[in-house]
Amino acid sequence: MEENLKVYIYKDGEKPIFHSSILEGIYATEGWFLKLLEANKHFVTDIPTEAHLFYLPFSSRLLELTLYVPHSHSRNNLIEYMKTYVDTLIGKYPFWNRTNGEDHFLAACHDWAPAETRGKMVNCIRGLCNADIRAGFVVGKDVSIPTTYVHSAKNPTEDNGGNPSSSERSILAFFAGQMHGRVRPILVNYWGKDPDMKITGPIHHVKGDKSYIEYMKRSKYCICPRGFAVFSPRVVESINYGCVPVIISDDYVPPFFEALNWESFAVFVLEKEVVNLKRILLSISDEKYVEMERGVREVQKHFVWHAEPLKYDQFHMILHSMWYTRVFRTQNPPMNFSSANLKD
């Protein structure tokens, strides 16, 4: 990929939905990727006939902020807007029809992105934070990208790291957050009073209070339950703070699964097994935990943003996933996995 990949970025599309980036908050991944790719000189080409991949430079978050009518409970205008955009590209350029869009890709992090990219766009390589099999994510065609909560656009790696020794991690497991979805209330009801764990609702804090981060740095396992959607920024937070992530989200496909062995540094718990969470964690041997903790530290470099991309960081990993999927897709048909297949 480093030697060969060339990406053409469409110039079409008006700001702020296209060619604009939000670099802080829960949807920052799509913003950072767009910003860094548009500034890249190594992978990007202005000659479309040289390109292996074609990038649709839109922000699903800015699409929502710009066009969604508050309280309308309708996303139809957002879906239609993206459909019109793709139809315009198809009518203006010959590139889409050569592969029916299979060499085009996007990166989108809003919960609604799977819906916004229906119709013809579904044939693209869709990089989605909401990598939900039940919502139409297709293994072998789509790409799961990390949900990274960036607190500071000036310093996206701020506060990363944790206690290097497991003996300094006195809390067995930690979770704090809103009671979104079906899993989190059960988690808190069962384990909220357990003295070995810190399982609670949202931690209310004033600006500058880093108690949430400190809990992650002091915990062996960080619980990453689904909310309304399957994905959570806690997965990347756990990794960045050296805490072994415990993913409780049955239909979620983790980021970079084609390149990383997630079972070597993360624990997967079925949603129905939340009631057995402590038993599952305590059944993990000390040797296995140390191995997983070491794995977390080894993969940290893949889940960070830098103002100037570094090899193997999140920018390169997302681009590699697109490249890998395109190559894979030319050799194999997409796999329609059910959630049952994934659990097995």
Q: What is the pLDDT of residue 37?
A: 98
Q: pLDDT digits over 92-124, tens only?
A: 999 999 999 999 999 999 999 999 998 999 999
Element (H, E) at 275: none
Q: What is the pLDDT of residue 335?
A: 47
Tokens of 317: 């990993």
Judged against a pLDDT cut of 80, whether residue 158 lies above it is answered with no
- For residue 18, give the nearest of 70, 88, 114 by alpha carbon: 88
DSSP 105-131: EEEE-STTHHHHT-GGGGGSEEEESS-
**Hey, where are the domains in the chain?**
7-152+306-331, 166-302
Q: What is the pLDDT of residue 159?
A: 63
Give the architecture (CATH level 2) of 166-302. 3-Layer(aba) Sandwich (3.40)
d(CA 44, CA 26): 26
Q: pLDDT digits over 298-335, tens only?
A: 999 999 999 999 999 999 999 999 999 999 877 665 44
d(CA 58, CA 319): 16
Q: What is the pLDDT of residue 344?
A: 33
Cβ neighbors of 211 (< 8 A, separation 6 or more) are 203, 205
Q: pLDDT digits over 13-22, tens only?
A: 999 999 999 9
Q: What is the pLDDT of residue 76?
A: 95
d(CA 65, CA 68): 6
Collapsing DSSP to helix, strand or coil, 83 comes out as: helix
Judged against a pLDDT cut of 70, whether residue 180 lies above it is answered with yes
**φ and ψ at residue 103, rounded to 5 degrees:** -100, 15
The fraction of the chain above a pLDDT of 70, given in percent, is 92
Dihedral-angle region of residue 180 (phi above 0 means left; psi in -120 to 50 means alpha; beta otherwise): beta
d(CA 161, CA 169): 13
Q: What is the pLDDT of residue 59?
A: 98
Q: What is the pLDDT of residue 233?
A: 95
Whether 257 contacts 266, CB under 8 Å: no
Q: pLDDT digits over 10-61, tens only?
A: 999 999 999 999 999 999 999 999 999 999 999 999 999 999 999 999 999 9
Band (pLDDT 50/70/90 cuts) for residue 164 is low
151: Cα separation from own chain's centroid: 16
d(CA 72, CA 75): 8
- For residue 238, give the nearest of 147, 344, 123 by alpha carbon: 147
Average pLDDT of the segment spanning 232-246 = 96
In the Cβ-directed half-sphere of 154, how many Cα atoms lie within 13 Å?
Answer: 0
Band (pLDDT 50/70/90 cuts) for residue 165 is low
Element (H, E) at 199: strand 197-200
Q: pLDDT digits over 247-270, tens only?
A: 999 999 999 999 999 999 999 999
- For residue 239, give the nearest of 195, 178, 304 by alpha carbon: 304
d(CA 134, CA 33): 26
Q: What is the pLDDT of residue 207?
A: 62
From residue 289, how far is each of 213, 239, 279, 323 by CA, in Å? Answer: 21, 14, 14, 33
Going 52 to 139 to 25 to 261, the CA torsion angle's sign is: negative
The counts of H helices and E strands in the chain are 12, 10
